[in-house]
Amino acid sequence: MATIGEIAPAIALLPLASFAVALASVVFAPRLLQKGGAIPGILATAGSLVLSVWAFVHVGGGEPIEQELLAWAAAPDSFELTLGVLIDPLAALMLVIVSLVAFLVHVFSLGYMNAEGETGLHRYYAELGLFTFSMLFFVMADNILMAFMFFELVGLCSFLLIGFWFREEAPASAAKKAFLVTRFGDYFFLVGVVGIFAAFGTGRFVGSEGFPHLAEEAIAEGHEILGMSPETGVMVLGLLVLGGVIGKSAQFPLHTWLPDAMEGPTTVSALIHAATMVAAGVYLVARMFGFYALSPTLLAIIALVGGFTALFAATMGVVKDEIKQVLAYSTISQYGYMMLGLGAGGYVAGTFHLMNHAFFKALLFLGAGSVIIATHHTHDMWKMGGLKEKLPVTYYTFLAGSLALAGIVPFSGFWSKDEILYESIVHGLGTDGGLGVLLLLAFAFGLLAVFFTGFYTFRMVALTFHGEPRTEVAEDAHGVGWSVKLPLIVLGVLATVAGLVNMAPLDVEYLHSWLDTTEEAGLLTSAHHYEEVLHDVAHVEAATLTPIATAAVSLGLALAGALAAWRLYGSDPQPHTDRLGSIKELVGNNYYQDEYQVWLAEGVTLPLSRAADTFDQVVVDGVVDGVSSVSLFSGRRIRRIQSGIVSNYVALLTAGLVVLLVTFAFMGGWF
Amino acid sequence: MVSPDWLALAPHGILGLTAMVLLLYDMIDPDSRNRLALASIATVGSLAALAASAWLLAVGVGPSESVSLFDGQLVVDGVALFFSVVFTTVAALVTVASYDYLADHSYQAEYYSLVVLATTGMVVLASANSLATAFVSLELVSLPSYALVAFLKTNRGSVEAGTKYFLIGALSSAVFVYGISLVYAVAGSLHFETLAAFFAEQGIEQAGVFGLGIVMIVGGVAFKTASVPFHFWAPEAYEGAPAPISGFLSSASKAAGFVLAFRAFNVAFSLDIAAVSGAIDWALLFQILAVVTMIVGNFAAAVQERVKRMLAYSSVGHAGYVLIGLAAITSGGAGGNSIVMGAAMMHLLVYGVMNTGAFLFVGMAEYWGVGRRFEDYNGLSKQAPMACVAMAIFMFSLAGLPPFGGFFSKYVLFLGAIQAGFWWLAAIGAVTSALSLYYYSRVVKAIWIEDPSADFRLRGRPVGLYAAVMLAGVLTVALLPAFGVGIEAAYDAASVLFA
């Protein structure tokens, strides 16, 4: 009997197999697979889920899984490039989340894609399989180069799935935008990967040979990193990698791709937002938290970007009319919270929110998907209303997700969001210097965003489910099948209770101790180790403050936002946004983020590229052409020496000899 | 180790005997039409000599110990055996290919015996340890070559080429032997080690006479290796000669010139003495020759219209690359010297195989009568795909594209030059290699991409030519995995000269 330690790669390889099966069936036997290839995908992700749970239990026994799969390039005396599997508590947790959400999304797709008579289903399921495979291997990656490779594959799969309806203009353009914007961040990531290899000679995440620990030693001993002081070196490398994170996790200012990505199928949105693409960025920060925790500057930047993004995106979510748009901005905002948590030194808090968000955001998207198919593909919330009675399962589960998103006790989001805010204020108050001040600022952003979150969430619930049906489609909304309801119920339960695993204000900290499970194994990835690093290297201190206080304040704000939305939109809603005046313009246009980025591309980059092109065409090509003309010309000249007359040859030969003789005679001083 | 010592002369003896057997066969059965028997004798003789060289290397002659014979006139060491492998390999390819090429010709026994005699001369030259044996064996290489170039007696081009080759050769031999006499005048000896000992002890008093002698000896070498400005015979001789002979001359005969230079200049006239005493810095002389040869050879090749002539000039260019092996020698840099010279030897081995293969492909085209210009080769791949794959490999390997043997040998050569401090030699080599890709790829384009200009049918499948071309192709590819072994052997062999 194989152990999970041996067959761990199968967790990711099963979805790859479903990808291969779906692809092969398109080519060889299009009619062979019923349901457009859904069955292999469901089986594969179910298998992944079972294996992930097995791995989770195994890791829970205190022993992480480490396995080197392949050394695909080795340079003697410098470094090896390898593929390997690492499952520590963090990875085990993430594996369960990813495979669970992927499995539920596959099941839901039966109702969302198959039942709606979509075409191209083989392609859909093949891409879904590849997507899941990439994300699972990304989660299990034991070194940063491997992580980068699968990070890129995740990006590619998002491109393919967002552009699933590629024959229409909007999805195709959204797919390109998602690909290009995230790629912009990934350039920095790639440079960072190379830099990490150059500086430390390894890309390993964990252990005393891993680069976070080597960096820690470099700082302790004052060794230079890439010719810079160790603190600066860590900061530069961390920032470069952070570029990829900001792109993938849609943080300000690279968040603009995410709302457009709503053009893809809603199931894909659920997968992208909850467990794969967007989660990859934050997961990477958590994965190499031992590195980020070394630099107060990096922590401050992460926290500030996160806190700002949380507030910024939440304000935009307030004015959106389409249900998926609201959810898109809520995703950006929630990942901002995770970044805030991690930046504030709350490794457990950030991970906790990553987990909770995966459940409730998958739930909300699938719920939105259910609403959309029930209302014959209506996205605009103003055309809905009164769906509560028609879709009871959807309503109650969606409500659970909304309460979790808004952060209302005791739903999951409350606990993790509160822990993030608590971590940021106690570390902000306790830490001296700039980091403390910036953490407090980030905390203020995050706290303010709680109000907006409550507002837009309940505005969405009210507009969609409450009041009277406002259009015919809402009136004759039809019910949905079991394949839709089942995932909703599973996720609804999880969104309600998942938060109970780490109720910090009540001193229930199962997740915290879970992340410490394998501390003995020397991976240096335990929450406890990170706390030490934060304290010793980055000098992050905690002030004493009762957690009840922040919990009460954030709950109060969330309730205030929810109640305000309820009053304005609860029954007989009116578009109140006009009252905002010019602010509406600003927020409605997403603060002109797209416009300025387009201007950057068209107004700055394009002329620069044109200039470079002109330089290439005229100067570089000119030189190249010139060289070849000169070569051929001189070649013809040289050829002419070969006259065919042997006495000429003899003369030239003798002349050459004489020239050489005279030259060397002068140089050697023979006379 | 071999015992008795004379067994170390097995390659030389086998080749000499083979030549005698061929002549004997001709005596018994003059005007023989039995091509198979003649070609087989020559090929078996060459392969036996190849096997003997390999056996000697295997039993440890060379890297560990060298065998000195006839009072030090001949020496069998790693360098001699390494080059014996090159010569006999090329000779075997050429004799196999000649089986078809000579189908309708008379004087076949003479042809094969001349080839084998020239090979014997090369192998002796590789072992020559004094200027006297060197000169005699050089003539043993040259004289059969003149006859072989003019072998197509009814073809005006062949006869004219032979005459020109002979005239220039005579002049160059005269220069060479005069140079030898001047060195003898200074040192009173022709033996390499005695010369070295003499110069080390006495210094160089008559710097002018000595320097004059050295420049003239370089002239003799430059003739044999077809280096500018002693290269004028090469394009004409290679073009006029039967294609297998062109391959033989441009690969093996060129290598023979180099082995003489490698040994004479590093053993007898070592740079430590010649340059330090201020008489003559012959490394500078070879630098000049290398640069001029690389440039002239490659630039002239770029504008040729006929494939064979292009190959002729390209072989001049390759002589320039190998000259780097002498040009990048530095005084006192023993380790670096053996690396750069070992790389040059390895390039000669790789070049020997791929260049012979390319000429044999041209020979096959001549056999089919498809014409000599690039355009005439258009669409050949449709008729002879396998041979054209081999030709494409030769061309890309000659140009130095990875992943072929030619890439690695050029790479280690240029790298060795850079490590010795001659980055500019490597730079010129790299630039001219880039240029060479232009004219080599013209051939590939013609045979693979262009459509046939006329509807022609190739007559027959010349088995011997085909076999030789394919064998050369396989060797060019096989030298890739075997490159590590070869380069180690070359480094070891070269280091003996600097001991």
Give the CA angle between residues A106, A110, A111 to the nearest 5°: 120
For residue A385, give the 3-state DSSP assignment: coil
Listed in sequence order, the residues at least 6 apart from B145 whose beta carbon sits closer than 8 Å to its beta carbon are B118, B165, B169, B245, B249, B253
Q: Looking at beta carbons, which residues of chain A come within 8 Å of B228? A: 656
CA distance B75 to B194: 14
Which residue matches tokens 């003059």?
Answer: B30
Q: Please give the pLDDT value at position A247.
A: 87
Could you tell me the pLDDT band of residue B165, with boundaries at 50, 70 and 90?
A: very high
Q: Any chain A CB within 8 A of the CB of B297? A: no
**In this structure, what are the phi and psi dihedrals at residue A550, rounded to the nearest 5 degrees?**
-65, -35
pLDDT in tens, A255-296: 888 888 888 888 888 888 888 888 888 899 998 888 888 888
Listed in sequence order, the residues at least 6 apart from A214 whose beta carbon sits closer than 8 Å to its beta carbon are A200, A202
Q: Any chain A CB within 8 A of the CB of B229? A: yes
Q: What is the mean pLDDT of chain A?
A: 84
Query: CA of B85 to nearest chain A CA: how many angstroms apart?
Result: 32
Which residue matches tokens 């000992």?
Answer: B197
Q: Looking at beta carbons, which residues of chain B come within 8 Å of A661? A: 212, 215
What integer is the mean pLDDT of B455-469? 80
Q: Looking at beta carbons, which residues of chain B come within 8 Å of A644? A: 236
pLDDT at B276 over 70: no
Could you tell me the pLDDT band of residue A31, with boundaries at 50, 70 and 90?
A: low
Q: What is the mean pLDDT of chain B?
A: 88
Q: Are B22 and B116 in contact (CB under 8 A)?
A: yes
What integer is the mean pLDDT of A59-65? 83
CA distance A113 to B493: 72
What integer is the mean pLDDT of A360-366? 89
DSSP string, A534-550: HHHTS--------HHHH
Q: Looking at beta carbons, which residues of chain A come within 8 Å of B175? A: 657
pLDDT at B211 over 60: yes
Query: Which candidate, B321, B204, B179, places its Cα nearest to that of B264?
Result: B179
pLDDT in tens, B227-255: 988 888 888 899 889 999 999 999 999 99
Amino acid at B109: A
pLDDT at A141 over 60: yes
pTM: 0.66
Q: Please give the pLDDT value at position B60.
A: 74
Q: Please give the pLDDT value at position A546.
A: 80
Give the CA angle between residues A660, A661, A662 to the nearest 5°: 95
Considering only the beta carbons, identify the residue of A635, A649, A668 that sits closest to B168: A649
Do A668 and B299 lie within an 8 Å CB cutoff? no
What integer is the mean pLDDT of A439-456? 89
CA distance B390 to B388: 5
Q: What percent of chain B has pLDDT over 90?
A: 40
Q: Are B244 and B355 in contact (CB under 8 A)?
A: no
Query: CA of A200 to nearest chain B CA: how many angstroms apart?
Result: 28
Pairing of β A80-87 and β A65-74? antiparallel
| Exposure class string for A75-106: b at 16+ Cβ within 10 A, else e | eeeebebbbbbbbbbbbbbbbbbbbbbbbbbb
Could you tell me the pLDDT band of residue B314, with boundaries at 50, 70 and 90?
A: very high
pLDDT in tens, B110-125: 899 999 999 999 999 9
ipTM of the complex: 0.87
Q: Any chain A CB within 8 A of the CB of B167? A: yes
Which residue matches tokens 């748009």?
Answer: A325
**In this structure, what are the phi and psi dihedrals at residue B61, rounded to the nearest 5 degrees?**
-75, 135
Q: Please give the pLDDT value at position A68.
A: 83
Q: Are A191 and A242 in contact (CB under 8 A)?
A: no
Higher-pLDDT residue of B460, B345: B345
Do B438 and A628 lie within an 8 Å CB cutoff? yes
**What chain A residue is nearest to B310 in terms of C-alpha separation?**
A639
What integer is the mean pLDDT of A150-179? 88
pLDDT at A49 over 70: yes
What integer is the mean pLDDT of A322-339? 89
Q: Please give the pLDDT value at position A172.
A: 87
pLDDT at A39 over 60: yes
pLDDT-wise least confident of A466-470, B125-129, B339-343, B399-403: A466-470
pLDDT in tens, A542-598: 877 787 888 888 888 888 888 888 888 876 667 766 666 677 777 667 777 777 778
Q: Please give the pLDDT value at position A579.
A: 67
CA end-to-end span of chain B: 19
Q: Please give the pLDDT value at position B109.
A: 87
pLDDT at A1 over 60: no
Tokens linked to A393:
């399962």
What integer is the mean pLDDT of A182-187? 89
Candidates B167, B303, B304, B314: best to mutate against A (most CBs of A within 10 A) is B303
pLDDT in tens, A93-115: 899 999 999 998 888 888 787 77
From chain A residues 601-660, the ones with a CB under 8 A of any chain B CB are 628, 631-632, 634-636, 638-639, 642, 644, 646, 649-650, 652-657, 660
Q: What percent of chain A has pLDDT over 70?
A: 96
Do B208 and A665 lie within an 8 Å CB cutoff? yes
What integer is the mean pLDDT of B48-69? 82
CA distance A20 to A11: 15
pLDDT at B199 over 90: no
Considering only the beta carbons, identify the residue of B212, B288, B303 that sits closest to A639: B303
**What chain A residue is nearest to B295 in terms of C-alpha separation?**
A635
Listed in sequence order, the residues at least 6 apart from B148 whose beta carbon sits closer than 8 Å to its beta carbon are B111, B114, B115, B118, B241, B242, B245, B248, B249
As for how many domains chain B has, the answer is 1
Considering only the beta carbons, identify the residue of A654, A661, A668 that sits closest to B279: A668
Q: What percent of chain B has pLDDT over 70?
A: 97
Query: CA of A661 to nearest chain B CA: how many angstroms apart?
Result: 7
Number of Cβ atoms within 10 Å of the Cβ of A284? 26
Higher-pLDDT residue of A116, A249: A249
Do B163 and A650 lie within an 8 Å CB cutoff? no
DSSP state letter for A575? -
**What is the residue range of B79's domain?**
5-498
pLDDT-wise least confident of A68-82, A251-265, B440-454: A68-82
Do B164 and A649 lie within an 8 Å CB cutoff? yes
Do A668 and B302 lie within an 8 Å CB cutoff? no
Q: Please give the pLDDT value at position A232.
A: 87
CA distance B253 to B122: 7
**In this structure, what are the phi and psi dihedrals at residue A317, rounded to the nearest 5 degrees?**
-65, -25
pLDDT in tens, B126-147: 999 999 999 999 999 999 999 9
CA distance A435 to A95: 33
What integer is the mean pLDDT of A473-498? 82
**What chain A residue is nearest to B215 in terms of C-alpha separation?**
A661
